[in-house]
Amino acid sequence: MKQSVLFTRAFKSFPSDEEARGIRFLVRAGFVNKEAAGVYSFLPLGLRVLRNIESIIREEMDRVGGQEILMPILHPRENWEITGRWTSFDALYKVKNREGKEAALGPTHEEIIFPVIKKMVSSYRDLPVYVYQIQDKVRDEARAKSGLLRGREFWMKDFYSFHRDETDLDGFYEKMKKVYLGVFKRLGLKVLVVKASGGTFSKYSHEFQVLSPVGEDLVLYCGKCGFAENKEIAQVKDGEVCLECGGMIKAGSSIEVGNIFKLNTRFSEPFSVAYKDEEGNQRLVYAGCYGIGVSRLMGTIAEVLSDERGLIWPELEAPFLVHLLELDGGRGDVIYRDLQRSGIRVLYDDRKISAGEKFAEADLIGIPWRVVTSKKTGTKLEVKARSSAETRLVTLLNFKRLLKTKR
Ligand code: ATP
Ligand code: MG
């Protein structure tokens, strides 16, 4: 992609209405545009990042046997009445149609998926079922001032599993815990697996938390063995000795990027989702749900992987892998075509602006590899990783080799 035609704009100054560093960079670098508090448009750079995060999650969900579906945003009021959440879910957006009929805008999809399962599952032979979607969610959040971290409209991956009994659910729940760790590792994030309250329908749940000063959660964790609990339920205190390993418990703000939950029969009961077992008895289906905040992840990465000059994307999430900068006397066109032919995602800064501006913008956008061609570099390229200060002069061939060995 040539930067001269890329639909974006890097602003000289930070937006005045954003507080957290990550979202300030995302807006300033033209990844997203704010429409209202907690509501954003994803522009080409931002959408590429969002899609890359989705792809990683999708691969891991498919690998564990998940089948992708897509449920509606518009939910009939009746479904929410059946579970009692029409009144108890405080962030529920309610809308009316021209006849005065009410509907909810989906903040989560138990009220849709359970009736679907009821139709599709009748025998023990039909279980287990693993389905998920990656979709736009809507919530009337009380406070939406942390950019993509707390949207009123945001992207979530929600996975639902359905089982014959508690044992089968427990086994899958443990498996998903590992799958989640794999997802966040691939994304380049350090997460704490945090034990949290399970609400009214289960003893406990697990949250996946990334330590960050802008996080809205507070966790107590052991820096040595990784044991962690959410402050809301914690039995340990800041400064205490870790009961698991003897290390020290610390308190820290954190961002919840995902959570897993055993629903047990909380929703099968009101929707009467049952199956016939081997003996012909009707039994309620056991279920689990597993969420990941896709757009929140984008905000989190922007937040924790950035420096004073701008964003620093890991290779997999980055909108482009290489940012090619042509300065006076460089061979930009030739190198751009060559990199493209090699299947490398490259953004080519072909604009007639100063070298200083190009460098500053490259740092702001945060593409992993900055490559400069100029009169000075001659037939070689000056290569620099966004995450490092070191530059080196290499041939195009060696640069491509370097990219290959990195993956
Ligand atoms: P939180 O405790 O942050 O309000 P939650 O526990 O209500 O989140 P879930 O309903 O389980 O979250 O949603 C699954 C995931 O979706 C969360 O772990 C989080 O990463 C993400 N998420 C939830 N609410 C939002 C939001 N308003 N904006 C962006 N992402 C969100
Ligand atoms: Mg939560």
Ligand 2 center–CA 256 separation, angstroms:
7
Q: State the average pLDDT over residues 281-294.
A: 98
Regarding the beta carbon of 105 and ligand 1, being less than 6 Å apart is answered: no
Answer yes or no: pTM beyond 0.85. Answer: yes
Q: State the average pLDDT over residues 44-56.
A: 98
The yes-or-no verdict on residue 154 having pLDDT over 70 is: yes
Class of domain 3-307: alpha beta
The yes-or-no verdict on residue 138 having pLDDT over 70 is: yes
Locus of tokens 């995902």: 258
Ligand 2 center–CA 41 separation, angstroms:
24
The yes-or-no verdict on residue 114 having pLDDT over 70 is: yes
Among the residue ranges 136-150, 229-243, 290-304, the one predicted with the least confidence is 229-243
Question: What's residue 407's pLDDT?
Answer: 62
CA-CA distances (angstroms) from residue 332 to 326, 335, 378? 5, 5, 11
Q: State the average pLDDT over residues 35-60.
A: 98
Q: State the average pLDDT over residues 10-33.
A: 96
Same fold, 3-307 and 320-406: no
CATH number of 320-406: 3.40.50.800
| Nearest ligand by distance to the CA of 93 | 1
Terminal Cα distance for the chain, rounded:
22
The yes-or-no verdict on residue 115 having pLDDT over 70 is: yes
Instruction: Supply angle C-alpha 71, 216, 35, rounded to 5.
Output: 55
Q: What is the rounded CA–CA span in Å between residue 128 and residue 166?
A: 12
The yes-or-no verdict on residue 201 having pLDDT over 90 is: no
Per-residue model confidence as pLDDT tens digits over 265-277: 999 999 999 999 9
The yes-or-no verdict on residue 251 having pLDDT over 90 is: yes
Structural domain spans, the chain: 3-307, 320-406
Measured by CA distance, the residue closest to atom 31 of ligand 1 is: 293
Regarding the beta carbon of 332 and ligand 1, being less than 6 Å apart is answered: no
pLDDT band at 405 (very low <50, low <70, confident <90, very high): confident
CB 34 within 8 A of CB 15: yes
The yes-or-no verdict on residue 284 having pLDDT over 70 is: yes
Ligand 2 center–CA 255 separation, angstroms:
10
